A and B are shown apart, each in its own frame.
Chain A
Amino acid sequence: MIHIEEQTYEIIDKSQLIEKVTQKKKDGCRLVQISCTPLENNLEITYTFDKDYKCSHLRLSILQEDACLPSISGVYLAAFAYENELHDLFGIKVTDLAIDFKGNFYKLSVKAPFSPKTQNKVEQ
């Protein structure tokens, strides 16, 4: 018996982000997580929301050279932890953060280790 959750993905643009997130807050969803996947030419950011055990995702794509995002911590304060992590691990600039650690949330020796720009391949 396969148990697979039904999850909806919605692809949006960077300019629609705050409007869509405010709509989710009005519907009563809670923020679950924000994650980033580095693909070959761009970075794919996924925002996950949950209401009544149903998961829905908002997905947007940004270029590696122009990596900056508006913050949603004005709507969901809990997002500050995820957005600081995006900045520390991937080098994405997030503007208007409610609590901004300026790169000191994670104590790392290499700046932005997960970003494809740093030549940081894992060695065998």
Chain B
Amino acid sequence: MAKRTVVPFGPQHPVLPEPIHLDLVLEDERVVEVIPSIGFIHRGLEKLCEIREYPEMVYIAERICGICSFIHGQTYCQAVEGVMKIDVPERALFLRTIWAEMSRIHSHLLWLGLFADGFGFESLFMHSWRVREKLLDIVEETTGGRVIFGTAKVGGVRKDIDNLTLNRIKGELKNIEKQCRELTSVFEKDDSVKRRTKGVGILKKEDAVALGAVGPTLRASDVEWDARKLGYAAYSKVDWQIVVEKDGDCYSRCIVRCKELYQSFNIIYQCIEKIPDGPIDVKVTGSPNGEYFARTEQPRGEVIHYVKANGTKNLARFRVRTPTFANIAPLVKMLEGCELADVPVIVLSIDPCISCTER
């Protein structure tokens, strides 16, 4: 029988953007078993609902994660609006959609850079992040902040974008899209990328559904499921298709995210054309009473915000179930049977956002 060794991976590792600890049980160079362990940045944010009133919890919800910050804020607002049955104006819904899709593009560009860094392609990492800088300039111009947008509010949005700025942004986005096409053609066609990622970390369709995978991890295993089809915000008014790939390996997950980039650009152009005029928020008074589960699609998968209110200004319970938490079980399955050098590539391919996982 071959000798077994236990190698600790993380929490500090050059390839990991955030701390997760995996104990890898190896037999010669193959991984036989994986034992995950989290909790290095648990901040207990859900407990803050005891002292912060419900309009102020938006600031906390936004700061759960830096990469997916706007969509956390938007989902929290949707949860409270679902409890209080608030009618958000149309223009606010379209603006939320535009910012959510910009958040998705910036997250996917960030991930493409990290993924290239994961198998050693440093210059591709630098170029992806150079293109992302231009997008962050647009975000800063419209919202005021590069990372934390700060525009979600219960009842609408806090800032408006006038139509002149929207048309100018459309031109700048077309420029960014052209540069993205050059980058994604490298990811799709370059031989060195294919050799490190094809056939690595395969997740079959039955396993993906049984283990509760979400997001691009699920869509790369031939399952057509996207939370945006539920029709919240302005997604029911624009025309878009779900991106699905068949193979279930790291290469498919990369291709799914590349194609979602262009889908997001398309959604933003359609929103800019169809956005109606009108107010951007409604006044919200009173206290919520009841409970609601709000579901939206983050760049990493489906996120759920559960809000339970008891008639006072403080919420009784605020719970967040983030996509990376749901992807831990498929990750454990994917890592079994792979070689030690493939572990960083597989861990990065599910797009781990550990600060979301632990809140």
Which residues of A are at the interface with B, using a C-beta cutoff of 8 A? Answer: 1-5, 7, 30-33, 35, 37-39, 46, 48, 53, 55, 57, 76-78, 80-82, 88, 101, 104-108, 113-114, 120-122, 124
**CB-based contact B229/A35 at 8 Å:** no
Q: Which of A1, A104, A108 contacts B42 (CB 8 A)?
A: A108
A5-B295, A48-B304, A122-B51 known; A107+B85 contact, CB < 8 A:
no
**CB-based contact B317/A37 at 8 Å:** yes
- A118–B85 alpha-carbon span in the complex (Å): 35
* Binding stretch for chain A, among B102-110, B178-186, B204-212: B204-212
A104-B37, A106-B38, A106-B358 known; A31+B293 contact, CB < 8 A:
no
CB-CB under 8 A from A114, the residues of chain B are 44, 46-47
* Binding stretch for chain A, among B127-135, B247-255, B264-272, B325-333: B325-333
CB-CB under 8 A from B88, the residues of chain A are 1-2
* Interface hits, B41-88 → A, CB 8 Å: 42, 44, 46-48, 50-51, 78, 81-82, 85-88
CB-CB under 8 A from A33, the residues of chain B are 304, 321, 326
**CB-based contact B210/A78 at 8 Å:** yes
A37-B316, A124-B51 known; A1+B90 contact, CB < 8 A:
yes
Q: Is B39's beta carbon under 8 Å from chain A?
A: yes
Q: A6 to chain B: closest CB distance in Å?
A: 11
- A39–B317 alpha-carbon span in the complex (Å): 9
- A109–B212 alpha-carbon span in the complex (Å): 30
A-B contact count (CB 8 A): 96
Q: Which of B37, B38, B231, B293 contacts A3 (CB 8 A)?
A: B231
Please give me the residue from chain A that is nearest to B212 by CB atom: A78
Q: B30 to chain A: closest CB distance in Å?
A: 20
- A105–B316 alpha-carbon span in the complex (Å): 26
**CB-based contact A77/B210 at 8 Å:** yes
CB pairs A–B below 8 angstroms (24 shown)? A2-B85, A2-B86, A3-B232, A4-B82, A5-B293, A7-B293, A30-B210, A31-B212, A32-B304, A32-B326, A48-B304, A57-B293, A76-B210, A76-B212, A77-B211, A80-B329, A105-B38, A105-B39, A107-B37, A107-B40, A113-B47, A122-B47, A122-B51, A124-B51
Please give me the residue from chain B that is nearest to A3 by CB atom: B232
Number of interface residues of B (CB under 8 A): 46
- A105–B358 alpha-carbon span in the complex (Å): 11
Q: A84 to chain B: closest CB distance in Å?
A: 10
Per DSSP, chain B at the interface is: mixed
Q: Which of A1, A53, A57 contacts B87 (CB 8 A)?
A: A1
CB-CB under 8 A from A37, the residues of chain B are 308, 316-317, 319
CB-CB under 8 A from B90, the residues of chain A are 1
A30-B209, A78-B211, A78-B326 known; A35+B51 contact, CB < 8 A:
no
Q: A8 to chain B: closest CB distance in Å?
A: 11
**CB-based contact A48/B293 at 8 Å:** yes
A53-B230, A76-B210 known; A101+B37 contact, CB < 8 A:
yes
Q: Is B9's beta carbon under 8 Å from chain A?
A: no
CB-CB under 8 A from A120, the residues of chain B are 47
**CB-based contact A30/B212 at 8 Å:** yes
Q: B288 to chain A: closest CB distance in Å?
A: 14
**CB-based contact A2/B87 at 8 Å:** yes
Q: Is B306's beta carbon under 8 Å from chain A?
A: yes
Q: A100 to chain B: closest CB distance in Å?
A: 11
CB-CB under 8 A from A77, the residues of chain B are 210-211, 329
**CB-based contact A113/B50 at 8 Å:** no
